[in-house]
Structure 1
Amino acid sequence: MSFAQIALFSIFAAMMVLMFWGRWRHDLVAFAGLMAAVLVGIVPAQQAFSGFGNPATMVVALVLIATAGLTRSGAVSRLTRMLASDRRSLTGHILLFCGVGGLLSGFMNNIAALAMLMPIDLQAARKAGRVAGLTLMPLAFATILGGMLTLIGTPPNLIVSGFRAEVLGEPYRMFDFLPVGAAVAVAGIAFIGLFGWRLIPVSGRGGPVGAADGARRYLARLVVTEASSLAGASLGDARADALKAGVRIIGLMRHGHAVSDDPDAAILAPQDVLLLRAAPSSLDEFRAADRLAFPDGRLEPRARKDVEGQSLLECLVPVGADIIGRSAQSFGLVNRYDSVLIGMRRRGVALRDALPRQEIAAGDLLLLLVPESRAEDVLAASGLLRIDGGSLPVQRDGHMRTAIGLFALAVLATSLGLVSMPIALGVVVIGYVLTGVLSINEIYDHVDWPVIVLLGAMIPLGIALDETGGTALIARLLAGLTEGYPAWIALLLLMVTTMCLSDILNNNATTIIAAPVGIRLAEELGVQPDAFLMGVAVAAACAFLTPIGHQNNTLILGPGNYRFGDYWRMGLPLEIIVLAVALPMLLIVWPL
């Protein structure tokens, strides 16, 4: 082994130990490893940041922005809201949610798919009286499996496509992953729904029902519009519909007066005002799904016009804030800042009456509806403190068709080979901004920058591993271990090794390391590299043994009340099933 190989393997070993230790973030460890490689002289200084301009890195960033547009437009929320039912069996619920999650993950980032479905699953668990830990792990695993369906479903697919373009001169197309990915996903989801969830240990089932149900609830108002699906319906029907979103209707105002005579029989009309008790996310979901409107902040509220992107902000009134002793009306919240006080809590109690005139005191919690461009002005002028995690972009349901149409056209154009994926997604992002689906100020907020830094740092290291002969060395080692055996044995060994790495390392980093090894191994054996590249993509994506192998596993750790050692109980048999299904499918679809 040369000095460069020894140094690079040492850097990779140190990075793996630090990532598995978990004290520092994966992106920091990867970037530190890149800097060490540059200082040692393994990676040329002029190529140190080439990974940030790699098409795979750009596609990951653009996919996150594009899927954020679908979320912001309410497209996925409206679809998934119909799925929650407290009358469905647990097996039926898991199979349905896993199927939908897997399908969505094929056409959007699987992290985004889980983020969209997780609140629905938590709500369904609360309604059914069961703990969320029984269903969150199946959902997370299913969205990981679904990511293997298409080119854009998961970053490992994009990364191996980039390596194929370098070696064979042509990347994979949108649905080249479908035959193998669909077989693996169907088998995996069937196992999860029918048997796998029963393997979740008692510790995973011991958490409180609806673990995420601790959100603060406010007494808020929504206005019935002419376009609302509730116009012409009875208040009783509206109550039932609101409960699907976790909202409780507690009153109806008409022409400034409460409707008290048999209110459930009252027929809702435009300009009626519903008084509700809800958490901010549930409030916005109900508003978007039934085409209601936020109030305009007047004492007799009317429907507020959505002229630009808005956010719901939860704010604390600290001692000494300029807004103390004033009301929203006297402060000029509506007239000066085009913002509305939606709800207010004081000493743990949600206030109800005349919010625009309510004098604000230190320690109050305020729920504000603020134009995105004015948020910082409002906070600076009032002295309010935004609560960590208390910012919720309001869904723009009027842009739903635009968001779906642009994204569908991009998928179609890529599938037909008219444009490459980075160009198609770049056009989608521009279209989202021009049509108002996303504002220019928020597109960067939806990029998972730690993932981008991780990719940007690991790609030069992966290239250096190949250029220094490191991948060829590993390939020769694997070829030596399988000498005299069929080539599929080497493929199986490569997939097992990749799976093990992915469970203790980030799946993106694992793919960058393993893909060049797969190419070199195919060259050593004198066979086509496609099966090996596809095998790396499948194995790297399927990280089910630990909460650190994939971000979806990490997302459910807290809400599901899981422990570190809970994942392997369902994850180990699932990984065995993945190998058993993927290997023959690879040999059939991508012959050696």
Structure 2
Amino acid sequence: MDLNFDQSVVFAILAGTLVLFVWGRWRYDLVALAALVLVFVAGLVPAEEVFLGFGHPAVVTVAAVLVLSRGLLNAGVVDVLSRHLGRVGTRPVAQVATLTGIVILCSGFMNNVGALALLMPVAIWMSRQSGRSPSLLLMPLAFGSLLGGLITLIGTPPNIIIAMYRAETGLPAFGMFDFALVGAVTAAIGLVFIALIGWRLTPRRDGQSAPEELFEIEDYISEVIVPEEARLVGQTIYHLTSAVEKESEATVVGLIRGERHIAAPSWYEVIQAGDILMVEAAPEDLKSLIDEQGLSLAECKGDCKATLGSDDIRLMEAVITSDSPLPGKTAASMHLRGNFGVNLLAIARRGRRLERRLGQTEFVVGDILLLQGSDESLQSMLKTFKCLPLAERGLRIGQPRKVALALAIFVAAMVLSALNVLPVQIAFTAAAVLMIVVDLVPLGDIYESIDWPVIVLLGAMFPLGHALESTGGAQLIAEQLLLLSAHLSPMATLAVIMGGTMLLSNVVNNAAAAVLMAPIAITLARGMEVSVDPLLMSVAVGASCAFLTPVGHQSNALVMAPGGYRFGDYWRLGLPLSFLVIITAIPFIYYFWPMRPV
């Protein structure tokens, strides 16, 4: 196979881009932008077309759908579906089937990561109530969120991308429910497999042995008495905290003064002789505090856990999500007490409480934080750092429920686009604007609800995909596949396209996989002189089914830490599920979207 210079350059840029995607040293949007600059410098894309990808209808639609997803979450649509999950019982088959079924349904119509993030705390809570590890529920939940994306046009960005590529061939773009002909059946069969067999293939990580609290607070709270001769008398709690942080780590989470109990006392509360300070600290830090400050240890005579709470002050467990700014930062650097009036009492990771010092622990996605503070301060902190409270602490954050209004706006957008009254990008942009106007999405949340790295990735990859096509690179790859297809049946050819896209999607972002494979599929269809639809559908399904690695999709990464999974755990369930998707989807694609000669 002979390569001309332009093809060699574009293949070299693509190869370097894929290597950097897999390496993960730099975020994928930065890698895509660098590739975009390189194709311009190489003269493969003219200056006036370099940034046209950011105005592509697929990019606009993805952004609008993300805003709509935030509106549906804020309205409590997922809450309505999940609030009765406690009645499911403790049998793993019932729990897996119910949770995975709900996330499939939600992911078909909203951002799959958002649906997963809201149901993940419910799964963790159900695991703890059942005395089992969350690892049995979380991987099925993540894979279910990917299967749900197969059902509709807006279920996942690859579907939107594939629909727009079909429009570029001169055919109408795929409609809202065109994907359901294949996707709904595939998702349903995947659900049955996961519920009956698949969850048994997930690793058994050590979990709670009984349905008790992950954090037994009274085991970590001590009472210390401030004697008259102590140096702290007349000083503030802030002064004590500042002095302690230099040598050890301890948090004053309550104060008892006579008959008065003060939960989460102010930093500017002046310490008096006879005060009893409730301190959260490891044993070695507690000893250091007592020795250095001249305090004495008192037994906790009452219910420490009850003393910590009041009508206004309470405990909350919250999960760090994938889009939180907390991962990589330490507890000490965030100054939660000073900035939000919230105490961080403990951190749990992979189902177990961390015993290391809190201030030196870097947060990771999926960490469960035990927080203490007022309702107002806790809600402010959760919103700022994009954390989700566990189910028993109150699943929702934010606004009163406006489920009917949110659903009416969303359904109207779907109907208008499905009936071709409005182009999909116009219908969903208008719906997003309407959700903002009726305050389902506050002004401050508009840009926060959009996954900007994905938007930048798409905007940068579209010109790169066009460069692959314009230089003849896609034609070259298609010619090799055409030679292969001469020895294969049509269904086997579709399986090769779907399987290749799956493998690519497991190492790069699924949207990028769709952008790169769609031009090849179109060129191959022209070479075979058949309809482009079955090949594009194969790409769409393959791009959405990244089940083999935690880096293939954000959903997979989100459950890695709380499930206690390792990189190599995913293929145990993901490999048979991938084969099942291919075996299921290919016949339905061939039936509903036949390879007709053109």
1:416-469 C-alpha deviation (Å, 9 max, x unpaired):
222122112112122112211122222111101111111111111011111111
1:200-254 C-alpha deviation (Å, 9 max, x unpaired):
134xx2356899967999xxxxxxxxxxxxxxxxxxxxxxxxxxxxxxxxxxxxx
Amino acid aligned to 1:91:
V
Is the contact between residue 159 and residue 511 of structure 1 (CA under 8 Å) also seen in structure 2?
A: yes
Pick one of 539, 543, 560 that aligns with 2:542. Answer: 539
Pick one of 356, 362, 369 that aligns with 2:376. Answer: 369
Question: C-alpha separation between the residues in 2 aligned to 1:467 and 1:85?
Answer: 57
**Superposed counterparts of 1:130-141, under 5 Å:** 130-141=132-143
CA spacing shift, 1:58–1:510, aligned 2, 3 Å: same
Tell me the TM-score normalized by structure 2. Answer: 0.71
Is the contact between residue 316 and residue 372 of structure 2 (CA under 8 Å) also seen in structure 1?
A: no
Is the contact between residue 75 and residue 397 of structure 1 (CA under 8 Å) also seen in structure 2?
A: no
Amino acid aligned to 1:10:
A
* 2:450 pairs with 1:447: yes
CA spacing shift, 1:557–1:391, aligned 2, 3 Å: closer
Amino acid aligned to 2:580:
I
Pick one of 463, 467, 470 that aligns with 1:467. Answer: 470
Is the contact between residue 108 and residue 150 of structure 2 (CA under 8 Å) also seen in structure 1?
A: yes
* 2:436 pairs with 1:399: no
Give the corresponding residue for 2:155. 153
**Superposed counterparts of 1:123-522, under 5 Å:** 123-202=125-204, 205-206=205-206, 277-279=314-316, 316-318=336-338, 345=343, 366-367=373-374, 369=376, 388-389=385-386, 394-522=397-525
Give the corresponding residue for 1:111. 113
Question: C-alpha separation between the residues in 2 aligned to 1:396 and 1:478?
Answer: 53
User: What runs of 5+ residues in structure 1 fail to find an aligned partner?
Assistant: 218-272, 283-313, 322-340, 349-363, 376-383
1:528-567 C-alpha deviation (Å, 9 max, x unpaired):
0100000000011111000111111111111111000000
Q: CA deviation at 1:274?
A: 6.0
CA spacing shift, 1:149–1:166, aligned 2, 3 Å: same
Amino acid aligned to 1:108:
M
Amino acid aligned to 2:142:
A
Amino acid aligned to 2:398:
Q
Is the contact between residue 137 and residue 556 of structure 1 (CA under 8 Å) also seen in structure 2?
A: yes
Give the corresponding residue for 2:53. 51
Amino acid aligned to 1:4:
D
Q: What secondary structure is seen at the aligned counterpart in 2 of 1:446?
A: coil
Is the contact between residue 88 and residue 98 of structure 2 (CA under 8 Å) also seen in structure 1?
A: no
Amino acid aligned to 1:47:
E
Is the contact between residue 101 and residue 143 of structure 1 (CA under 8 Å) also seen in structure 2?
A: yes
Amino acid aligned to 2:336:
L
Q: CA deviation at 1:276?
A: 7.7
Which stretch shifts more, 73-82 or 444-453? 73-82
Give the corresponding residue for 2:74. 72
Is the contact between residue 28 and residue 457 of structure 2 (CA under 8 Å) also seen in structure 1?
A: yes
Pick one of 551, 555, 559 that aligns with 1:556. Answer: 559
Question: C-alpha separation between the residues in 1 aligned to 2:213 and 2:513?
Answer: 32
Q: CA deviation at 1:495?
A: 1.3
Is the contact between residue 476 and residue 521 of structure 1 (CA under 8 Å) also seen in structure 2?
A: yes
Q: CA deviation at 1:275?
A: 6.8
Is the contact between residue 131 and residue 211 of structure 1 (CA under 8 Å) also seen in structure 2?
A: no
Q: What secondary structure is seen at the aligned counterpart in 2 of 1:92?
A: helix
Question: C-alpha separation between the residues in 2 aligned to 1:521 and 1:371?
Answer: 55
Q: CA deviation at 1:75?
A: 2.1
Is the contact between residue 15 and residue 33 of structure 1 (CA under 8 Å) also seen in structure 2?
A: yes
CA spacing shift, 1:200–1:317, aligned 2, 3 Å: closer
Is the contact between residue 315 and residue 366 of structure 1 (CA under 8 Å) also seen in structure 2?
A: no
Give the corresponding residue for 2:577. 574
Is the contact between residue 413 and residue 428 of structure 2 (CA under 8 Å) also seen in structure 1?
A: yes
CA spacing shift, 1:85–1:129, aligned 2, 3 Å: farther
Q: What secondary structure is seen at the aligned counterpart in 2 of 1:553?
A: helix
Q: What secondary structure is seen at the aligned counterpart in 2 of 1:472?
A: helix
Pick one of 98, 101, 119 that aligns with 2:100. Answer: 98
Q: What secondary structure is seen at the aligned counterpart in 1 of 2:376?
A: strand
Q: What secondary structure is seen at the aligned counterpart in 1 of 2:85?
A: coil
CA spacing shift, 1:120–1:390, aligned 2, 3 Å: closer
CA RMSD of aligned residues (A): 3.0
Pick one of 522, 526, 531 that aligns with 1:528. Answer: 531
Question: C-alpha separation between the residues in 1 aligned to 2:129 and 2:56?
Answer: 46
Question: C-alpha separation between the residues in 2 aligned to 1:536 and 1:482?
Answer: 16
Amino acid aligned to 1:65:
V
Identity of aligned residues (%): 40
CA spacing shift, 1:214–1:146, aligned 2, 3 Å: farther
CA spacing shift, 1:576–1:366, aligned 2, 3 Å: same
CA spacing shift, 1:544–1:344, aligned 2, 3 Å: closer
Question: C-alpha separation between the residues in 1 aligned to 2:162 and 2:438?
Answer: 33
Amino acid aligned to 1:487:
P
Q: CA deviation at 1:186?
A: 1.1
User: What runs of 5+ residues in structure 2 fail to find an aligned partner?
Assistant: 219-309, 320-333, 347-370, 390-395
Question: C-alpha separation between the residues in 1 aligned to 2:121 and 2:63?
Answer: 24
Q: CA deviation at 1:490?
A: 2.1
Is the contact between residue 315 and residue 367 of structure 1 (CA under 8 Å) also seen in structure 2?
A: no
Would you say how many aligned residue pairs link Structure 1 and Structure 2?
457
Amino acid aligned to 1:192:
I
Q: CA deviation at 1:388?
A: 5.0
CA spacing shift, 1:591–1:3, aligned 2, 3 Å: same
Give the corresponding residue for 1:583. 586
1:453-499 C-alpha deviation (Å, 9 max, x unpaired):
11111111011111111111111011112224333332221111111
Q: CA deviation at 1:315?
A: 6.3
Tell me the TM-score normalized by structure 1. Answer: 0.72
Question: C-alpha separation between the residues in 2 aligned to 1:138 and 1:524?
Answer: 39
1:335-356 C-alpha deviation (Å, 9 max, x unpaired):
xxxxxx9x865988xxxxxxxx
